[in-house]
Amino acid sequence: MKKVLSIVAALLLCVGTQAQIVSSRSTIVKTQKQASNTQWFLRAGVNMMNLSGDGIDGTDSNIGYNATLGYQKSLGGAGAYWGMEFALGSRGFKVDDMKCIAHNVQYSPFTFGWKIGVADNISIDPHLGVFASYDYTSKMKEDGESISWGDFADALEVDYNHFDAGMNIGVGVWYDRFNLDLTYQRGFIDVFTDADGIKTSNFMIRLGIAF
C-alpha cells in the first residue's frame, strides 16, 4: 500500500510540475505577444518653418529641426495603430535677412495611423494626430543683432504666445525597422495676438528607427 501511495504521489508531483512548466511557457508567450503589439521609435530631421494667415506677405521658410521619441500600439492585425509622441522642435520664419526661430517641447497625446503593406518588409504609413507645444526660448537675428520674440511683440504692441496646439498630418514609408516620415504641422493658436490670426506652419522631413 505504501508503494502504491508513493507511486501516486510521484505521479501527482510530476503532473503538477509539467502543468507549472506549461503555464510558465504560456505566460512567456503571452507576454512576448503583448510586448510585440507596442513599438517604440526615434525620429529626427529638418523642419521647414513658416507662418500662415493674413498679414504675413513677404515671409519665407526658415530651417529648423524636430527630434521625436514615441510609440505605436497595434489596434488589430490589419496594420491600424494609435500612438503617443514626445519631441523637441522648433517653429519660425524668415523675412529678408532676418531669421526667426523659437525652440519648444512638444507633446502629441494621440496619433492614429495605418501601416499598409506594399511589398516584403515595406509599408506605407498615413497618420493623423494632434499636438501641443511650449516655446522655452526664442530668437530673431538680423545684422548681428538679436532679440527675443517677446521683444518683437512688445515693439508691435501685441502679445507673444509661448503655447501652441494643432494638428499633425503625414505619411511615412517603413522598410523593416527604418522609417522616412513626411509630416505637415499646423498650429491653431495665434503666434502673436491681435496680429491678424498668424499661425504656425511647419513641414517636417524625418528619418526614424524602431526598437
Range of the domain at 195: 34-210
For every one of its 211 residues, what pLDDT tens digit does the chain have, with 9 covering 90 and above?
A: 444 335 434 544 444 455 454 444 544 444 444 445 899 999 999 999 999 987 677 789 999 999 999 999 999 878 999 999 999 999 999 988 889 999 999 999 999 999 999 999 999 999 999 999 999 999 999 887 899 999 989 988 899 999 999 999 999 999 999 999 999 999 999 999 887 789 999 999 999 999 9
Q: Give one DSSP letter per residue of 7-34, joined into a string.
A: HHHHHHHHHHHHHHHHHHHHHHHHHHHH
CA nearest 111: which of 89, 82, 80?
82
Query: Looking at the 3D structure of the chain, how many domains does it have?
Result: 1
Any domain includes 78: yes
Any domain includes 20: no
Query: Rounded to 5 degrees, what are φ and ψ at 161?
Result: -90, 115
CATH number (domain holding residue 187): 2.40.160.20
Any domain includes 183: yes
Is residue 74 within 8 Å of residue 81, measured between CB atoms?
A: yes
∠ CA 18-20-25, nearest 5°, is: 95
| Cα separation values, 164 from 35, 92, 145, 167, Å | 34, 13, 27, 10
Q: What is the pLDDT of residue 28?
A: 45
Q: Which residues pair with 168 in a beta bridge?
A: 129, 185
Any domain includes 177: yes
Q: What is the pLDDT of residue 156?
A: 83
Any domain includes 51: yes
* Cα–Cα distance measured from residue 114 to residue 104, given in angstroms and rounded to the nearest whole number: 28
Please state the pTM of the whole predicted model.
Answer: 0.80
- 21: left (phi > 0), else alpha (psi -120 to 50), else beta? alpha
* Cα–Cα distance measured from residue 86 to residue 158, given in angstroms and rounded to the nearest whole number: 30
* Cα–Cα distance measured from residue 98 to residue 141, given in angstroms and rounded to the nearest whole number: 6
Any domain includes 164: yes
Any domain includes 187: yes
| Residue 167 neighbours by CB under 8 Å, 6+ apart | 128, 129, 130, 131, 185, 186, 188
